[in-house]
Amino acid sequence: MARSITYITGSQLLSVKRRPNIAVVDVRDEERNYDGHIAGSLHYASDTFLDKIPSLIEAAKDKDTLVFHCALSQVRGPKCARRLAEYLAEVKEETGIKNIMVLERGYNGWEASGRPVCRCTETPCKGE
Ligand SMILES: [Zn+2]
């Protein structure tokens, strides 16, 4: 049984995102390059997501909560979150990941609500 995926709102995420146990995972594709991003978020584009799951697990090894989003969090974000949950259920690897969440309304909702965005071009983003 894959674990269930829960949703988090932008305001909830804003209040917890600086906690060291949380990673924000942006699965947008090339839009990230010109639309800005949530500071400190990891980028794992949805089109290559499956192949990069082991690298994501490595990058998030000290995190227990991963918050996925795409532009609207309607298709790619929930899909990648589900893929990760299925992967973890399959490999039964001890990863420390306890919560898999999706950011409601995605990056577009985050930005439209006036929440802080980062426009750096560094990979990974070092913002905040
Ligand atoms: Zn940045």
116-119 CB contacts, 8 Å cutoff, 24+ apart? 116/38, 116/39, 117/36, 117/37, 117/38, 117/39, 118/36, 118/37, 118/38, 118/39, 118/40, 119/36, 119/37
Contacts of 112 (CB under 8 A, 6+ apart): 105
Query: What is the distance in A from the centroid of ligand 1 to the CA of 93?
Result: 30
Residues annotated as catalytic are 70
pLDDT tens-digit readout, 8-28 = 999 999 999 999 999 999 999
pLDDT tens-digit readout, 54-83 = 999 999 999 999 999 999 999 999 999 999
Query: What is the distance in A from the centroid of ligand 1 to the CA of 94?
Result: 30
CA angle (24 as vertex; 21, 25 as ends), nearest 5? 130
Q: Say what the pTM is.
A: 0.95
